Amino acid sequence: MPQTRRRIRRSRRTSAYIGLTALALGVTATASTGISSRGHSAAGAVASTVESALAPCRIAGTMGVQMSEGLPTPPGYARSTGEVKALNLMIDFPDAKGEGTALDRMAEFFPQTSNWFRTSSYGRLSYRAEAPIRTWLRMPMPFAAYGIERGSAYEPGYRQLVEHIAKAADSEVDFSKYDLVNILVTPNAGPSALDTVLSVTFSGNAEAPVADGVPLANTSFVYSRQDDGSGTYRETGYRVLPHENGHVFGLPDLYTSDGGGAVGHWDIMSEDWGSNNDLLGWHKWKLGWLDSTQISCAAKSGTSDHVLTPLAVSGGAKLAFVPLSESAGYAVEVRTQAGNDEAVCKPGVLIYKVDSDVDTGQGPVTVSDSAGSSGGCTRRPNVHAELSDAPFRPGETFTDEQAGISVSVVGEPRNGSYQVRITRP
C-alpha cells in the first residue's frame, strides 16, 4: 500500500541525508548523555552503585555507524532535557505563495508537538516553540529552482535554500538563541506527502550553513501534509514534527526499506503517520528522560525478577535490559493505552532487540511478536497491524535459544505493573 512506498522512499532519503560528523558545535554541545544524575544527590554512594550496575547495559555506539542507538548520544545534537528553544520559520516561494497565514501553518504543529514532548518526557523536555517572524518568509527563487528532492545533506540546492532562509530572517532573528530550527514549508510547494515524503532533518551536521555565527546543524524541514484522508489530520498530522525532531536529538529511523515491520507502531521513529504513539523506553533512557534508578540491568547469570510499571505513566521502574554483547541486548518494558500511546490494543510486556552497530534505517531495533502471523489487534489506518499485539501477557515467555535467554511474564501484580522473570546463562 502507499504507506509502504512512502516509507521506502523516506527511509532511503533520510539515511543518505544525515551527515553526522560527531563534532562538538559549541552551541549545541550539551547533547544528551542518556543518563540523568538527578535525584541521587542525597546518596552519592548509592548513586555510583546504581551507575556501575548499569554499565554493561549502556551499549555504546560503533565507529562507522552514522546514527546509532548506542549510549551516550555523541555530541553535536540538540540537548533533549530542560528548556529547548525551537525557532520556527514558515517559508513560501514566488511560484508557491503561502495559502492562509504563516501562523495557521505553525498551528498545524503547535501546541501539539510541545505537548507530545512534555508527555513523552514526563515533563523533562520543555519545548519552547517560537516564531519571531509571524508572516511567510518569501524565498527569492521558485521552489523548483532549488532542486529539492530526496537529495543528500546540504547538497547545493539545500545549502542555497538554507542560506536564503538565513539571509531573509537574519535581521529579525538571532539564530544563536535557539537549540533547533523547524522550517515549515508552505504545503503547496512540492509533491504531496502521499506521493513523496520530502520532510527531512539534518542533524549533528557541523557542515551546515552558518547564521549568526552558529551552524544550522539541527534543522528539520516539513513539507506538504501527512494527510491520509482518514479525517484524522487535525489530530495526528503534526506527528511528522516530533519524528523529525527525534533526529535532532540523535534518534535513528527505525523503519527500514521494507516499511514499519521491524518495530511497528511502538515508536514514533518507526511510524509517524496514524494515531498517536510514544517512544520506546530505550529511547527515553537515551534522551535522559529516565533516571538510572528506573532501569534494571540483567547482566549477571541466573534468574532475576523485575517489576515494571507502564512506560507512559510517570514514575517507577520502566526498563529492564539484558545485554548480549557490547553492542546489543534485549529491552523489556510495559506498554499500555496511556499518555502518547493511544493505539495500544493489547497491553503487556514489549520485548525488543537493540543493536547499536546497525545504522539508521537498517533496522537497529526489532520487536519480538508474541503472536506472530496473527494479523494483530488494530485496524487503525497507518498502524502496522501485525505487531500491534506483540506484547507478552502473564504466562507467556520469550526465548532466545541461541543466547540461552528467557523472559517470562509471571504476573500482573497491580496498578498496571507487570512482574518479569529473566533467566540468562
Nearer residue to Zn ion within complex by CB, 14 or 378: 14
Cell of 390: 506483540
Interacting span for Zn ion (CB under 5 A) from 248-256, 308-316, 326-334, 380-388: 248-256
Which residue of this chain has its Cβ atom nearest to Zn ion in the complex? 253
Which amino acid type is present at position 79?
R
Interacting span for Zn ion (CB under 5 A) from 89-97, 151-159, 246-254, 389-397: 246-254
Cell of 107: 498551528
Which amino acid type is present at position 387?
L
Nearer residue to Zn ion within complex by CB, 204 or 391: 204
Q: What is the sign, positive or negative, of the torsion defined by CA atoms of 340, 247, 349, 331?
A: negative
Question: Residue 320, SS3?
Answer: strand
Which amino acid type is present at position 410?
V
Give me the DSSP letters along 279-300.
Answer: --HHHHHHTT-SBGGGEEE--S
Does 333 bind Zn ion (CB under 5 A)? Our answer is no
**Rounded to the nearest whole angstrom, what is the least distance from the CB of residue 243 to Zn ion in the complex?**
6
Nearer residue to Zn ion within complex by CB, 122 or 273: 273
User: DSSP letter at 362?
Assistant: S
**Rounded to the nearest whole angstrom, what is the least distance from the CB of residue 201 to Zn ion in the complex?**
7
Nearer residue to Zn ion within complex by CB, 359 or 369: 359
**Rounded to the nearest whole angstrom, what is the least distance from the CB of residue 298 to Zn ion in the complex?**
31
Question: Residue 13, SS3?
Answer: helix
Interacting span for Zn ion (CB under 5 A) from 11-19, 60-68, 107-115, 152-160: 11-19
How many Å separate Cα 341 from the centre of its chain? 14
Interacting span for Zn ion (CB under 5 A) from 143-151, 225-233, 249-257, 409-417: 249-257
Q: What is the sign, positive or negative, of the torsion defined by CA atoms of 107, 109, 110, 115?
A: positive
Does 14 bind Zn ion (CB under 5 A)? Our answer is yes
Total length of the chain: 425
Q: Scan for cell 528553544, then name that residue.
A: 85
Question: Residue 119, SS3?
Answer: helix
Interacting span for Zn ion (CB under 5 A) from 9-17, 132-140, 294-302, 338-346: 9-17
User: DSSP letter at 179?
Assistant: S
Does 267 bind Zn ion (CB under 5 A)? Our answer is no
**Interacting residue with Zn ion among 108, 228, 253, 271 (CB under 5 A):** 253
**Rounded to the nearest whole angstrom, what is the least distance from the CB of residue 54 to Zn ion in the complex?**
28
Determine the size of the site formed for Zn ion (CB under 5 A).
Answer: 2
Binding site for Zn ion (CB under 5 A): 14, 253
